[in-house]
Amino acid sequence: MTSSVSSEIHTAVPSLGETKRAIVDRLKRVGAATVPELADALGVTPAGVRQHVDALAANGLVEAQLRGPSGRGRPATEWHLTELAADLFPDRHDDLTVGLIDALRQSLGEEGLQRVIDARAEKQLEEYRHAIPEHASLLKRVNALARQRTAEGYIAEVVRDEDGALVLVEHHCPICTAARACQGLCGSELELFRGALGDDVEVERTQHLMAGDVRCAYRVTARN
């Protein structure tokens, strides 16, 4: 793969120092707070808190809003966590997902579990067809698919292979734990991509995270 024709890669949530972590934890507990309130609670100077809050805001982890007036004077500016900050806290959704997969397998059997996977794939296909322009060029369609996958957490981009073919590269798998517990989730992706991109397209998986590669990649070419 030699040249990139799209870039949808987002930066990861940064690691936090002790004071920034304390600010984030405090905001998680109280919902919102002003700089003076944070300084008082943490035993840090307001100037120090302001510096750390500005850094957190620059990384999209906190944002400001005006507190409603409570008397004379201007409304105070208070800070609260953004949705991105949720990644800073423990998340057990992987355990829940694997537990649900095991429960479905025990209750429905492998065939029943596959029916659930197929139903999920059908719903995804509807969403993808809505997001991908039907009569656009192959490049525009694959770029639209990359944007859709990135929105789902796959950090996808489109590059050109040495022979000019388009390759959809996914640098992250947000369902990796679930996919290891249920191989059918990965098996449905090829048909999903083929259905979403159109009958005039061939899709071949050339790299696979589950097979030991560092990412998943799909070679996309037009049918002869």
- 60: domain CATH number is 1.10.10.10
Cα separation, 139 vs 143, whole angstroms: 6
Sign of CA dihedral 194, 195, 198, 199: positive
**Residue 79 and residue 112 in one domain:** no
Cα separation, 102 vs 177, whole angstroms: 13
Q: How many CB atoms lie within 10 A of CB 128?
A: 18
Residue-number span of the structural domain to which 175 is assigned: 91-222
Q: Is 162 within a domain? A: yes
Q: Among 66, 88, 110, give the residue marking a domain's end.
A: 88
**Residue 153 and residue 50 in one domain:** no
Report angle CA 113, 117, 120 to the nearest 5 degrees. 140
Long-range contacts of 65-69 (CB under 8 A, 24+ apart): 65/32, 67/32, 67/34
Q: Is 95 exposed, middle or buried (0-12, 13-18, 19+ CB in 10 A)?
A: exposed
Q: Is 8 within a domain? A: no
**Residue 174 and residue 148 in one domain:** yes
Q: How many CB atoms lie within 10 A of CB 93?
A: 10
Section 179-199 average pLDDT = 89
Name beta bridge partners: 160: 3, 166
**Residue 74 and residue 184 in one domain:** no
- pTM value is 0.64
**Residue 25 and residue 107 in one domain:** no
Predicted pLDDT at 74: 76
**Residue 131 and residue 187 in one domain:** yes
Section 116-145 average pLDDT = 94
**Residue 132 and residue 41 in one domain:** no
**Residue 99 and residue 166 in one domain:** yes
Confidence band of 4 (pLDDT split at 50, 70, 90) = low
CATH code assigned at 174 = 3.30.1380
Q: What is the pLDDT of residues 22-77, one digit of tens each?
A: 999 999 999 899 999 999 999 999 999 999 999 999 999 999 999 866 556 678 89
